Amino acid sequence: MTKDKEIKSIIKIGSRASRLAVLQSEIVMRQIEEECPGVRTELITMKTTGDKILDKTLDQIGGKGLFVKELDEALRAGEVDLTVHSLKDLPGVIPEDLPLSAFSHREDPRDVLVLPAGNNKMDISLPIGTSSLRRSLQIKELIPGANTAPIRGNVETRLRKLDEGQYSALVLAAAGLKRLGLEGRISRYFSPEEMIPAACQGILGIQTRAGADSDFINRINNSDSERCALAERAYVKAIGADCGSPDTAFAQIKDDKIVIMGLRYDPERKTVIKDSISGSASEAEALGRELAYRMIRNEQ
């Protein structure tokens, strides 16, 4: 039997129900159908616990795992064949029976500043909307005098609150805005050197059941994204970050080399520390851990 015949004729894909999550899952669906002629994909959406609780920050309601609980259960039950996630939203520890099996091409990983519609100047008397401590710490360094305030909800909800005058600006991921066709709302791009992005920002992660046929998964995996993701996730895990921590890493590959930038917040001194490491891209994961250990040693 050929590999093509071994691939299921219908592949069910689980996704969160938000517009952005659906658009991201459709990216994977199109790629599967292009790489595997004769295969049809079917989208199954569901609201996760994290989508339903919008009046608290992630660290108050139990962390990133609340965005995947229902999807994990559907995958285990065989109701879907794979699930698609914004990889930055996945917990640091992945269940062994639901491995991360593929990584998408990385969309623009940068953070951006979004002003109210029709405005080209920020009202410094109003807070900048972000629920991310990582973004809050870095934006205050970039814009002296700026204050931040939490904001939850999908991208469209956040933009509505911004345009209603509740915030002076938002800090969002370029990837989400571009996938939603809202690139025109971006007022300023922050380079990764100015604002180190969330680990794995811009990468879609695909989970399957352990031992499932992976031929079609191998066809859609992006090896550069995989190595960057493994490096960044290794850093975050080694540094001991949780969902409320600002600690993060960002990796870039050129030829066969990888450069990883890391951010570490020192709560005692209330300072942000940045460092970087480079080496062979084949050692991405080990380099991510080494950068974390080095930054921890430098604190002591």
Q: Which residue has the tokens 């399957």?
A: 208
Residue closest to 243 by CA, chosen among 284, 194, 198: 198
Q: Is 89 a catalytic residue?
A: yes
Distance of CA 266 to the CA centre of its chain: 23
The Cα 245–Cα 264 span in angstroms is 9
Catalytic residue among 72, 89, 108, 111: 89
Residue closest to 234 by CA, chosen among 96, 95, 92, 91: 92
The Cα 69–Cα 146 span in angstroms is 36
Tokens for 105?
A: 């091409």
Residue closest to 63 by CA, chosen among 249, 287, 243: 243
Tell me the one-letter amino acid at 97. Answer: D
Beta bridge partners of 173: 111
The Cα 29–Cα 99 span in angstroms is 19
Q: State the CB neighbour count (10 A cutoff) for residue 166.
A: 15
Residue closest to 103 by CA, chosen among 271, 223, 274, 279: 223
The Cα 300–Cα 112 span in angstroms is 34
Contact 8, 40 (CB under 8 A): no
How far CA 166 is from CA of 116, 122, 194, in Å, comes to 10, 12, 26
Give the catalytic positions in this structure: 89
